[in-house]
Chains A and B, each alone.
Chain A
Amino acid sequence: MAVIEVDRLVKRYGDKIAVDGASLRVEAGEIVALLGPNGAGKSTMVNVMTGFLDRNGGEVHVLGEDPAHADRDWRDRVGVVMQDISVVGELTVRESLTHFATFYRAPRDVAELITAVGLDDKAGVRASRLSGGQRRRLDVAMGLIGRPELVFLDEPTTGFDPEVRRQFWQLIETIRDDGASVLLTTHYLEEAEALADRAVVLSGGKVVAEGPPSSLGGRDVEPSVVHWTEHGEARSVSTDTPTSTIVELARRFGGEVPDLVVARPSLEDVYLRLIGAEHVAHGGVE
């Protein structure tokens, strides 16, 4: 069963087209990552799917309903974490969550959730006095408090340090183990690789590739590159059979091959190729 079905979505701002016929499908229990450079249309899609933006064309069904006409039951089942959605600065972490928990039929336990997002020692601190990363974790907790069946996470780990990011990944795994589905937009490719069952790459408002991160864009069938050093010089060869290349090299060197590396194309290599060279020329991936 699909929890999200988007068919040829079109969204314009004035005469600028933000989403140009993108389609997307998320099955129940799946974690799907929406990747793409700034301005690719990720946030616009999330805003349409959460009922915050009207669309100009296409069909959108989220939990079987059109989010443009979302009712209260639907809101009870959907969690939203977005960049421009905030909390009241005067309330503490615990107060905010306790208050919002009363809005839902079957909310999560406030204390457990505070622990899960790593805010135990900040539970009594007002939101306005949290650091950027702590505030973001509170935003995530606010999106999860209602025990949603489907969670939208729009760049949830921006501003997290690596350790907290890993904790957050565990939290998302826990949510999925509870049976929830997750649509995640992110700039971090390692995040998509660690979490997502499937990644969808958006560029210029169009879907340019989709699949499991391990095989995205034919990554799994591309040749490997074997690197080594010979006569003080860096050498490399692209090959579909890296093992026999190494055996041959080992024979040639009579043992250890200096600086031997076998590289599969990284998700980043594939991603950069997919979104096109112009983004690379303009300062790389964001």
Chain B
Amino acid sequence: MVEIRIYLRNPAAVGFTLAFPLMMLVLFASVFHGKVKGTDIDYSQVFVAGIIGSSIMSVSFVGLATGIVVDRDAGVLRRLATTPVPRSAYFIGKMISSLALAFLGTVVCMIAGAVLFGLDLPTSPGRWITFVWVLVLGVGAATAMAVVVGGRITSPKSAPAVVNLPFVALQFVSGVFVPPDQLPKGLYQAAGIFPLRWIGQGMRSVFLPDAFQQVEPTGSWQHPMVALVLAGWIVFGLVAARLTFRWFDRH
């Protein structure tokens, strides 16, 4: 809870990580129109669903990775290391606050999508259950990526660049800014190494009609694969944090 309070008192962080997806949502969904080939689905809906997924990444990856770097630079990590608190508590705290903020972010995008672009909010409980597990696993995977990346960056000056570069690139190749059917197949598959493609795919399965599945390269929502890759990232992140995370320089 302390983490969330810290975040909300930093207007720059709030503005950037929450407002950025919202701006992208409005821009992309306004500019691109027309129906997705072979379906009755509007492109704007595809963007809205994708950007809802992307907002998870914005809070949990961009926000968190930058936060870790700032915490290290300001001596907050050293301060924590002087206390009897186990190191894992820091990550658990970050993960819980990420979850709350990502939930906030997705709700904001959802409301904007519904009000501005006629996004149909799902009515079946099954879809909301999907929303919850994609959100939880997505936050976990993005947090894992933040720990891996943020754990290695030493200067807060370089953090925004190092963090945003992969994020923007991933949004393009993972089917957020460019619908998956219009991406080169190999590129989209390559993007499957990272969590964002699967978060996006999961969110499309929540907000788009099942008819859209034919546009997905494999012809299905691939729920088991979404869960598997995101869970895999969580495990990878935990191991990497244990092995490579730099609390402070010991030498």
Contact = CB atoms under 8 A, between A and B. Distances in A.
Contacts of B251: 13, 53-54
A104 interface: yes
Nearest to A71: B84
B82 A75 contact: yes
B83 A75 contact: yes
B84 A52 contact: no
Nearest to B74: A86
Contacts of B78: 52, 82, 84-86
Given A80-B82, A100-B83, A103-B83, A91 B5 contact: yes
A73 B79 contact: no
Interface in B214-251: 248, 250-251
B83 A146 contact: yes
Interface in B67-83: 71, 74-76, 78-79, 81-83
A105 B83 CA distance: 11
B109 to A, nearest CB: 25
B76 A91 contact: no
B9 A126 contact: yes
A191 B38 CA distance: 81
Interface residues of B, number: 20
Contacts of B76: 86-88
Describe A's contact surface by its main secondary structure.
loop
Contact of A84 (B9, B75, B84): B75
Nearest to A105: B84
Contacts of A99: 2
A157 interface: no
A222 interface: no
A15 to B, nearest CB: 13
Contacts of B165: none
Interface in A58-108: 72-73, 75-76, 78-80, 82, 84-91, 95, 99-100, 103-105
A104 B84 contact: yes
Nearest to B250: A54
B124 interface: no
Describe B's contact surface by its main secondary structure.
loop
Contacts of A91: 2, 5-6
Interface residues of A, number: 31
B84 A75 contact: yes
Interface string B53-89: 0000000000000000001001110110111111000
Nearest to B251: A54
B182 interface: no
A186 interface: no
A52 B2 CA distance: 26
Contacts of A73: 84
A90 B10 contact: yes
A175 interface: no
User: For A50, A75, A143, which residue has the most chain B Cβ atoms within 10 angstroms?
Assistant: A75
A52 B81 contact: yes
Interface in B185-206: none
Contacts of A75: 82-84
A85 B84 contact: no
Contacts of B74: 86, 88-89
Nearest to A100: B83
12 contacts: A52-B248, A54-B251, A79-B82, A85-B82, A86-B79, A87-B76, A88-B71, A88-B76, A91-B2, A95-B2, A142-B79, A146-B84
Given A75-B82, A86-B79, 18 more contacts: A13-B251, A50-B82, A52-B81, A52-B250, A53-B250, A72-B85, A75-B84, A85-B75, A85-B78, A88-B74, A88-B76, A89-B74, A90-B5, A95-B5, A103-B84, A104-B83, A143-B82, A146-B84
Interface of B: 2, 5-6, 9-10, 71, 74-76, 78-79, 81-86, 248, 250-251
Interface of A: 13, 50, 52-54, 72-73, 75-76, 78-80, 82, 84-91, 95, 99-100, 103-105, 126, 142-143, 146
